Amino acid sequence: MALDAGRLVGRVAGRVAGRLGLAAWRRKSTLLVGAGALVLLVLCLQYNALGASQQQQPPQQQQGGNRAPGAAGGAGGRADGGVKFVKSAEGPGGPMVPAAPDQDGDKQPSRDAVAQRRAEPGEARAYVPPQRLAHFDLKGAPPKVGYLKKVFALLKQLGATGVLLEWEDTFPFWGPLEPMAASNAYSRADVREILQSAKEHGLEVMPLVQTFGHVEFALKHAKWAGLREVPESPQALCPSNNASLDLVHLLIDQVMELHPGVRYLHIGCDEVFQMGECPRCRTVLRENLFLGHVARVASYVRSKYSYRGAPVVPIIWHDMLQHLPPQSMEEYHLGELVEPMVWVYAEDVYRFVPSIVWDKFASVFPRVWTASAFKGAFGETMFIPNIKRHLENNLKWLEVMASEGPKFKEGFQGIAITGWQRYDHFAVLCELLPAAIPSLAVNLLTTTHGYMNPSLRGKLNTALGCGAGNGDGPVSGGSDPGTSTNPMFLNLNSDPFLWDMFNRCYFPGVPFFRLTYRLHSTQREVRDFLHSVTKAKGWMTDYNVRRNFSSPLRVDELMMDQPRMYHTLATLAHSANEALKDVFDAHTIAEWVEQRIYPDIQKLEQLAQDAAALKIRKVWPRRPLPPLPELRRLGVILPDDDKTGSVTENSRSP
């Protein structure tokens, strides 16, 4: 009975299942729509639950004015050719913070990891140097006092705390030192006016006077030639000559007389290339020569000059100390006498000053300074700074200072953002100050806040007199995944000089900044033209000109663009004079035009003379042309030297 009942139940269940299946098949469209709606309902519920949990988490706030939004966030892509941009805590589309490359190189975390890091509390503060000095290298080309006043106002707006003034031969030396002053040096009244302007803008002044190397401005004169370490070179003075120290004392005294109330005096001492070479110095170890001289100069400063009861602190460049053992520096009590300023202008700071050097310096010096650059670091003849490279340099310095600062008892004192005008006293002018104002602004704002991202766009635009929308719009470099806009506003990848971004602004010297783009384009066009006419084409080469042998028709064709280019260069020279007349005196303007524009004008004029000479000739000799006799000194055998090897008409085959 039980078996029959089971079979009956099975049959009934089978019939019911069959009927239900048939009904479901007939209504399959309705069931599919219902299933889709159920799935959509579940997804919506999960999304709402996730949003509610996120709203319960308190947002991370910036503390103070120097915290980078998301400065400790996950690393984003290398969006601008070497500068990493770190995603901020402001959510998708928020600012991108430049940071130095991490240990994993270009390896990027997942987007989930980035999101997790955004939500983590205790975000690290961006490092901001306590003091931020803008360095002005004035040698041989002093900006007008009125222009410096405008720049000082800009510096204060961008967050500078002081200025490092390297006067060199623009200082108004007097008395026995009067021959050192350039004919266009500042007057003592000018210096006082400059210092008063700095004071009015809350900028502390640190004067710089070279006291060992880079004293060409003094030793080039016959009066002090006897103090040279090497008679043929005025680069460095002899530390074993007592008269050298007398000269240094006099230099310091005159500079300090016009800088009352300063806390620091930078005494240079970098790149002493010639040392231990004169008869007096050969018997002394080079390190003892250097350390002994620095100790004597620093002791003189500390013993004679004070600030509010404390000795004035001498600052020196670090490079001559880098390879000295700490025991030698301690023997001369250098840690009690000076504070080093470590300078590196390249992007990879640790390559030039590795961690072991920081450890050594920390064992000797309780305090230390650093120096980056905003111009004058990547080429002796550049006329516009590469802002991309300078920004990377300053960002790397912030990372290094944050990492190495705890090693020193009193940490880093500050950073000097240097702006070199010449590589040394005899070098030509590199980037002039008005061409570098955007670079100064970008890098000073970066060190003031500890980062550079679009949250600073307003401050940058305001300081440089740009429109509110300056920097908006699409830029190259890639966009952040998952966002609809590209938040990067410094288009450094395709325009490292930021000509396009800042040429419509109104900062001090902007007419000259705009002119540098025209100069760049014109120089490239002239270079290509000269190469085409004299190298690539075959009718106005050096050979054609030397032999006066060419086709007048071809010469006319080649010279068609010469008048236009010549006129463009002449117009540029006039425009440069107009753009710089409120910045520099006539001497500096004339020097810059001679170095940057006049050489190309000369080349085009010579080309025109060569073309005219080639076109005068109406008849031409038959080949072969007589060989150049000067080729003999190169070992070339000429036809007259080997008659048997010559080919004559009589020897030709019929």
- 84-87 and 96-99: which strand pairing? antiparallel
Residue 506 CA to residue 549 CA, distance in Å, equals 54
Task: Show the tokens assigned to 370.
Answer: 């650093």
The two counts, helices (H) then strands (E), for the chain are 22, 14
User: Residue 524 to residues 370, 521, 530, 594: CA-CA distances in angstroms?
Assistant: 37, 5, 10, 18
Which residue out of 271, 277, 336, 399 is catalytically annotated? 271
Nearest CA to 233 among 191, 261, 273, 267?
273
The dihedral through the CA atoms of 210, 216, 219, 225 has a sign that is: positive
Active site residue 392: no
For residue 624, cis peptide bond before it (omega within 30 degrees of 0):
yes
φ, ψ for residue 317, nearest 5 deg: -70, 150
Residue 590 CA to residue 13 CA, distance in Å, equals 107
Nearest CA to 143 among 166, 173, 174, 177?
166
Residue 63 CA to residue 69 CA, distance in Å, equals 10
With a CB cutoff of 8 Å and minimum separation 6, the contacts of 135 are: 163, 164, 166, 371, 416, 417, 418, 419
* Residue 471 DSSP code: T
- Locus of tokens 């931020």: 132
Task: Show the tokens assigned to 591.
Answer: 């020097």
With a CB cutoff of 8 Å and minimum separation 6, the contacts of 375 are: 385, 390, 419, 420, 430, 431, 433, 435, 436, 439, 440
* Residue 324 DSSP code: S
Cβ contact 584:511 at 8 Å = no
Residue 436 CA to residue 507 CA, distance in Å, equals 11
Task: Show the tokens assigned to 201.
Answer: 């803008």
Burial class (CB in 10 A: 0-12, 13-18, 19+), 162: buried
Nearest CA to 433 among 375, 472, 478?
375
Residue 213 CA to residue 271 CA, distance in Å, equals 6
Q: Cα 504 to the chain's mean position, in Å?
A: 22
* Residue 89 DSSP code: T
**Cα distance from N-terminal residue to C-terminal residue, the chain:** 131
- Locus of tokens 């995944």: 481
Q: How many CB atoms lie within 10 A of CB 612?
A: 11
List the catalytic residues: 271
